[in-house]
């Protein structure tokens, strides 16, 4: 084992702020292809699934420690201030509640949704796929927002055949904010009252990827796209005086445990962390959801966020082969079906029991206290304005058009 570590260290090390660290082991639970091939060579000579798992766990634990040391060494004054600010706000009670909630099953709503208009983003697989089927089975009319035309056509046809409902789709790449703007314009021109809008589209990368507009992709897709769509459709919802907006968020917002680095939301100044970027995006989404909730107070419209549970999804499929193997065989080995999430999302969208609940974070269908940074009002106001600047939002034509095209 010592010899193996030395071989790996010599082959894969790189200097970061004057330190040699294991750079190429992904913090997402995988390692790059060179490290993977090295392990495969050793396994070929020595054999055994047990040995492979032992080596993987050893490398991953080592990488977590080294990444944490590198992370702490390069933190900005902003994050160090966050550590001092939030450290005392974390408590065992909230963490214990999160663990208990993760084991619960969602509340079930059996109220029909016939004729209600529901928009779901990212519906061709995983949570979105099951959610489309759930709402379809209850009679809702669906508008699905996806990237893939073939999959969208097939899904809509299956839903029509299975439930005799109306189903249409629009194609949008949520990493392109210009397409999100076009999507909002198209929705406004439908002249339809939106009963439920579910923001489900999301991505996960273990390496930094930029969008066409130069934004870090995870932050753009998981936060900025839903932020922009909400901002553009908010006047429509207010005019309707009813409707629910549901953000598929995550307990992963806790990965940004010391708050957002607003000086580097695009991850250009620091070592990229898959968990860190994902946590930052989900935290930003939670914080801006709080501001939207304030804007909607008393309007009859609600906005809430939810953790979909520990369920199997297709997120991360764009990553390397080892990551996909590790996700399937290790991370999600005991995860439940995404159908669990669809029951929770239907309850949150249709149940009268929570019709007035606004600005809350749910673990499936249980209201839960999020991490301390997600409760910071000043941070929420700050990231809301920064998000507006990042999407270059203009407050003129879209809002006027929304008020003219609403039909309850």
Domain assignment of residue 141, yes or no: yes
| CATH assignment of the domain containing 382 | 3.40.50.720
Task: Point out the least confidently predicted range of 63-77, 127-141, 371-385.
Answer: 63-77
Question: What H or E segment, with its residue span, contains residue 339?
Answer: helix 339-350
112 plus 50 within the same structural domain = no
127 and 57, same structural domain?
no
- The answer to whether the beta carbons of residues 149 and 172 sit under 8 Å apart is no
Q: Which of 390, 240, 368, 264 is nearest to 306 (CA)?
A: 368
CA angle 362, 363, 365 (to 5 degrees): 70
Provide the pairing of β-strand 25-26 with 30-31: antiparallel
> Quick one: pLDDT band at residue 52, thresholds 50, 70, 90?
low
d(CA 224, CA 285): 8
Query: For residue 89, is it within any domain?
Result: no
Cβ atoms of residues 361 and 308 within 8 Å: no
pLDDT one-digit tens code per residue, 277-317: 999 999 999 999 999 999 999 999 999 999 997 655 665 45
Residue at a domain's end among 75, 95, 120: 75
Handedness of CA 141, 290, 178, 274 (dihedral sign): negative
**263 with 384, same domain?**
yes
Tell me: do 42 and 174 sit in the same domain: no
Q: Please indicate, yes or no, whether residues 55 and 195 belong to a single structural domain of this protein.
A: no
Is residue 12 located within the same domain as residue 140? no
Q: Which two tokens stand for residue 297?
A: 């107070």
Taking only the tens place, the pLDDT of each residue in 84-108 is: 788 888 999 998 999 899 888 899 9
Q: 336 with 383, same domain?
A: yes
Separation of first and last alpha carbons in the chain = 68
12 near 23, Cβ under 8 Å? yes
Are residues 108 and 54 both part of a single domain?
A: no
Smallest Cα–Cα separation from 60: which of 26, 14, 20, 19? 26
Question: Using CA atoms, how far apart are residues 180 and 122, in angstroms rounded to an integer?
Answer: 13
Per-residue pLDDT of 367-376, as tens digits, reads: 999 999 999 9
3-state SS assignment for residue 397: helix
Diameter of the chain measured on Cα atoms: 71
Q: Which of 75, 95, 129 represents a domain boundary (last residue)?
A: 75
- Domain-embedded: residue 85: no
24-33, 153-162, 217-226: least confidently modelled range = 24-33
Please report the pLDDT score of residue 103 as a whole number.
85
For 310, counting Cβ atoms within 10 Å of its Cβ (0-12 exposed, 13-18 middle, 19+ buried), the class is middle
Q: Is the pLDDT of residue 394 over 80?
A: no
Length of the chain (residues):
408
Question: Which residue range forms the structural domain that includes residue 126?
Answer: 103-404
Q: How far is CA 291 from CA 124, 209, 384, 388, in A?
A: 30, 28, 7, 12
> CA geometry: angle at 329 spanning 328 and 332, to 5°?
55
In a domain, 384, yes or no: yes
* 166-197 per-position pLDDT tens digit: 999 999 999 999 999 999 999 999 999 999 99
pLDDT of residue 39: 57
Mean pLDDT computed over 199-211? 92
Indicate the number of domains in the chain: 2
Kindly report the pTM of this predicted structure.
Answer: 0.77
Domain match, 269 and 327 both: yes
Whether the Cβ atoms of residue 351 and residue 111 lie closer than 8 Å to each other:
yes
Kindly state whether residue 387 falls inside one of the protein's structural domains.
yes
User: Above pLDDT 70, what percent of the chain?
Assistant: 69
Within this chain, do residues 281 and 351 fall inside the same structural domain, yes or no?
yes
The answer to whether residue 200 is domain-embedded is yes
Residue 26 binned pLDDT confidence (cut-offs 50, 70, 90): very low
Determine, yes or no, domain membership for 91: no
Distances, alpha carbon 342 to alpha carbons 94, 135, 309, 358, 400, in Å: 25, 8, 10, 20, 34
| DSSP character at residue 200 | -
Residues 110 and 54 in one domain: no
Q: For residue 138, what pLDDT is reported?
A: 98
pLDDT digits 0-9 by tens, 1-13: 333 444 444 444 4
Q: How many CB atoms within 10 Å of residue 86?
A: 18
CA 348/CA 21 separation, integer angstroms: 45
Clarify whether residues 37 and 108 are in a common domain.
no
CA distance 344 to 360: 14
Q: Which residue has the higher pLDDT, 218 or 205?
A: 218
Q: Are 125 and 155 in contact (CB under 8 A)?
A: no
Task: Judge whether 80 lies within some domain.
Answer: no
- For 222, residues 6+ apart whose C-beta sits below 8 A from its C-beta are 202, 203, 278, 281, 282, 285
| pLDDT of the residue at 40 | 57
Where is pLDDT greater, at 82 or 306?
A: 306
What gap in Å lies between CA 193 and CA 27, rounded to an integer? Answer: 43
Pick from 57, 75, 93: which residue ends a domain?
Answer: 75
């Amino acid at each position: 084992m010592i010899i193996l570590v030395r071989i790996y260290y010599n082959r894969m090390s790189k200097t970061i702020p004057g330190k040699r660290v294991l750079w190429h082991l992904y913090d997402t639970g995988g390692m790059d292809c060179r490290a993977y091939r090295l392990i495969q060579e050793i396994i070929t000579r020595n054999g055994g699934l047990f040995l492979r798992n032992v080596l993987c766990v050893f490398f991953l634990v080592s990488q977590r420690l080294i990444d944490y040391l590198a992370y702490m060494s390069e933190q900005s004054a902003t994050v160090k201030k966050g550590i001092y600010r939030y450290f005392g706000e974390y408590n065992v009670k909230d963490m214990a509640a999160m663990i208990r909630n993760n084991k619960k099953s969602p509340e079930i709503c059996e109220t029909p949704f016939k004729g209600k208009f529901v928009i779901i983003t990212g519906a061709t697989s995983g949570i979105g796929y099951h959610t489309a089927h759930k709402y379809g089975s209850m009679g809702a009319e669906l508008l699905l927002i996806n990237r893939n035309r073939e999959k969208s056509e097939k899904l809509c046809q299956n839903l029509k055949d299975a439930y005799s409902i109306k189903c249409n789709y629009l194609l949008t790449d949520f990493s392109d904010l210009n397409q999100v703007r076009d999507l909002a314009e198209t929705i406004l021109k439908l002249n339809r009252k939106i009963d439920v809008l579910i923001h489900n589209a999301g991505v996960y990368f273990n390496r930094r990827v930029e969008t066409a507009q130069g934004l870090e992709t995870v932050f753009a897709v998981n936060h900025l796209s839903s932020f922009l769509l909400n901002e553009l459709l908010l006047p429509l919802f207010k005019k309707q005086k009813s409707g629910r907006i549901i953000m598929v968020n995550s307990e992963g917002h806790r990965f940004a445990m010391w708050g957002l680095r607003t000086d580097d939301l695009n991850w250009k100044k620091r070592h990229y962390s898959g968990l860190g970027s994902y946590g930052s995006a989900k935290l930003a989404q939670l914080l801006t959801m709080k501001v939207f909730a304030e804007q909607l107070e008393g309007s009859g419209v609600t906005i809430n966020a939810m953790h979909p549970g520990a369920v199997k999804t297709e997120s991360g499929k764009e990553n390397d082969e080892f990551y996909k193997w590790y996700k399937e065989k290790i991370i999600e080995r005991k995860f439940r079906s995404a159908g669990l999430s669809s029951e929770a999302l239907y309850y949150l969208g249709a149940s009268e029991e929570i019709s007035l609940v606004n600005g809350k974070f749910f673990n499936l269908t249980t209201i839960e206290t999020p991490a301390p940074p997600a409760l910071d009002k000043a941070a929420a106001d700050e990231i809301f304005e920064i998000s507006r600047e990042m999407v270059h939002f203009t407050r003129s034509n879209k809002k006027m058009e929304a008020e003219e095209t609403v039909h309850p």
